[in-house]
Structure 1
Amino acid sequence: MTMFSFLRFFTPALILLVMLRFKNLTLPTAGTIKPIVLRALFIAMCQLCFIASLQTLTLVEGVVLFATGPLFMPIVEKLFMRGQIRMSTIVALVMAFSGVILLAGADGEFTWRIDLLLGLAGGLFNSGSQLTLYKASKSGLSPLEINFWTFGTAALLILPLVFVNDASMLVNSLSISTFETPNTALVFLMSLLIINTQVFRSKAYQLASSGSQLAPLIFTNLLFTAVWQWTFFDDQMSHSQVAGVSLIVLATVLNTCWVRFSARRVHVLRAKTP
């Protein structure tokens, strides 16, 4: 798990370094180092929790819990950026945790499972990564540079865990025969998709006026995830689990819509004030 997480950041960083070698690679400024290091820490923890939860959760369950990130954004802003927690966020969190309880149901019984907590932790760290990406995107670095420094730092943060948990796998991966396996092509393809996603997300945040403005677009993942699970996997969920997933999605969407509505109402009131 730790080796896969390491490759998930190290390989895109290498590809980005090759793409940037024809240009002058810009070093992060003193004001940019903090959001980049924080984002690297958040995405490293996020991926470790997400991959660990997928060992037992279905793909849809894991992605739904991962997509609770927008709910935790106000909490992360409160802890690290001195933001305010709205009552609508508290209500949405209660709804989301109610959905998690339904999701934990098995044969009419509710049991807390570590994989669900790991999935929620992934959503929490995901919110931190999005907020720090918004901060970093407002710097003078290009999207390619932001993601190169972030992925490189995240790989360095995970490397000690690789030495502890997957040292033998790391040594075997250095052999020439390893690069002949089909898994190498899959890792390379995954890295290209990661770079594509993060670069376009960085460009979108450069145009956004707030860190949570793009939150509704996160839920397009759920549509594609449902299609992939139906196409490639034979996972079935009970009615209570479907209700739990729906409640989590509803809570997060309503919270995001309320934030957008409140911001628009304040803007209209200010425009009417003489």
Structure 2
Amino acid sequence: MSDITKATYFMLLSTFSLSITGLLSKNLAQLTPVELLSFLRFVVPCLMLFSFLMLTRIRVIPSTMLKPLLIRGFCIAACQWCFLTSLQTLSLVEGIVLFSTGPLFIPLLEKLIFGATIRLSTILGLLFTFCGVILMAGDLSHFQFKSELLFGLLAGVFNSGSQLSLYRASKSTLTPVETNAWTFFIAGIMIFPITLTSGWQSQGDGLWEANSLLDWKVIAFVILLALLTINTQIFRSKAYQLAESGSQLAPLIFTNLLFSAIWQVMFFDDRFTDQQITGIVLIASASMFTTLYAKRIKLKMRGKPLVKSAM
């Protein structure tokens, strides 16, 4: 099995876990304050990962990895806060559609920051995928401007920075468990002041009552959310370790939409129009094309004979 095929499988497992995470977040956003939920989403997985590392070995962050992890910690904290804020009003699919615009910015950021080359196949895959996202949005006349849409779009922007920094971090000597443990730790520290300020301001409104926070349903959802978050990031780290660039796997991130569309139908009893079905097919086709084409190019490069020097 080639590296690109393994990377594809890991990325699909990651997006599958992410889609279920979105479903749980949609429900939890109605039960707990967004700031507290964002904080718990990082702290609980962080404690789990560091508990596992205590059984093996905990290493400090290498000096060369401090900047990428700080960037990723900031991006992932801002991304989740914006995403959860948008889910308070938007439907699951609407929130996922805006969140999934992140990969559209990855090739551009790679080009601007790192000077990486953008393959034509990647550009075509992103264009077709973006068309599929537009079709998946359904009746665009319902998309009137509101703050929740802006927060959803900002979640997509920060998502691109998070994915790009994750790709760079995955090429380091840190294992995926170590990378994500330190990332969640940094993200939790960054979002803690917002959580503390929000909790202080909301005491009079009763939003932080202990009874609601200790509800068994909330506790079970938070633990499940933490496990899915770990799965999402670990599988994605493994996928990026095997990929040649972050933009190579960018179209596969859109498969999160396909899984979320299934949950939307199953749990919210929604039906898709022909336009939305066309968008689903277009996204799947673009993802398959990009992955298979990248695999074909890599096989050709391996089989290319070496040109011997005449001297």
Task: Provide the TM-score with structure 2 as the length reference.
Answer: 0.69
2:110 corresponds to 1:80: no
Find the aligned partners of 1:75 and 1:198 in 2 and give their Cα distance. 22
> Residue 43 of structure 2 corresponds to which residue in structure 1?
10
Residue aligning to 2:250: 215
Select the residue among 163, 171, 183 that pairs with 1:130. Answer: 163
CA RMSD of aligned residues (A): 3.6
Describe the shift of the 1:213–1:10 C-alpha distance in structure 2 as closer, same or farther (beyond 3 A): same
Greater CA drift, 207-216 or 168-177: 168-177
For 1:193-247, what per-residue CA distance to the aligned partner results, in whole angstroms no more than 9, with x for missing partners?
1112211221222222211232243233222211211111144667777777888
Does 1:35 pair with 2:68? Answer: yes
Which of 174, 179, 194 is matched with 1:146 structurally? 179
Alpha carbons of structure 1 residues 145 and 227: separation in structure 2 relative to 1, 3 Å: same
Provide, for residues 36-76 of structure 1, a one-character-per-residue CA deviation record: whole Å limited to 9, x for no partner: 11111111111122112222222122222222222110222
Q: Does 1:229 align with 2:264?
A: yes
Supply the AA of the counterpart residue of 1:222.
L
1:113 to 145, 155, 178: 145
**Residue identity matched to 1:51:** L
Tell me how far apart the structure 1 counterparts of residues 209 and 253 of structure 2 sit (CA, whole Å).
36
Q: Map 1:190-209 to 2 at 5 A.
A: 190-209=225-244
Measured in 1, the distance between the counterparts of 2:212 and 2:144 equals 43
Amino acid corresponding to residue 84 of structure 2 in structure 1: I
Residue number among 71, 84, 87 corresponding to 2:104 in the alignment: 71
Query: Higher mean Cα deviation, 93-102 or 113-122?
Result: 93-102
Q: CA deviation at 1:174?
A: 9.9
Could you give the per-residue CA deviations for residues 9-44 of structure 1, whole angstroms, max 9, x where no partner exists? 111111111111122211111111111111111111
Tell me how far apart the structure 2 counterparts of residues 72 and 257 of structure 1 sit (CA, whole Å). Answer: 22
Aligned to 2:81: 48
Instruction: Name the amino acid aligned to 2:145.
Output: R
Change (3 A) 1:97 1:203: closer
2:152 is aligned with what amino acid? G
**Amino acid of the residue matched to residue 50 of structure 1?**
F
Say which SS state the counterpart of residue 166 (structure 1) adopts.
Answer: helix
Retained in 2: the 8 A contact 1:104–1:112?
no
Matched, 1:187 2:219: no
- Decide whether the 8 Å contact of 2:97 with 2:137 is kept in 1: no
Q: Which amino acid aligns with 1:205?
A: Y
Aligned length: 272
What letter is aligned with 1:17? F
How many angstroms apart in 2 are the aligned matches of 1:112 and 1:180? 36
Contact 2:87 2:95 in 1 (8 A): yes
Paired with 2:150 and 2:120, the residues of 1 have a C-alpha distance of: 23
Identity %: 47
Name the CA distance, whole Å, in 2 between partners of 1:63 and 1:222: 6
Q: Distance in 1 between matches of 2:253 and 2:127?
A: 20
Equivalent AA in structure 1 for residue 265 of structure 2:
W
Instruction: For 1:212, give the aligned amino acid.
Output: S
Tell me the secondary structure at the aligned position of residue 182 of structure 2: helix
Tell me how far apart the structure 2 counterparts of residues 152 and 221 of structure 1 sit (CA, whole Å).
25
Structure 1 residue runs of 5 or longer lacking an equivalent are none
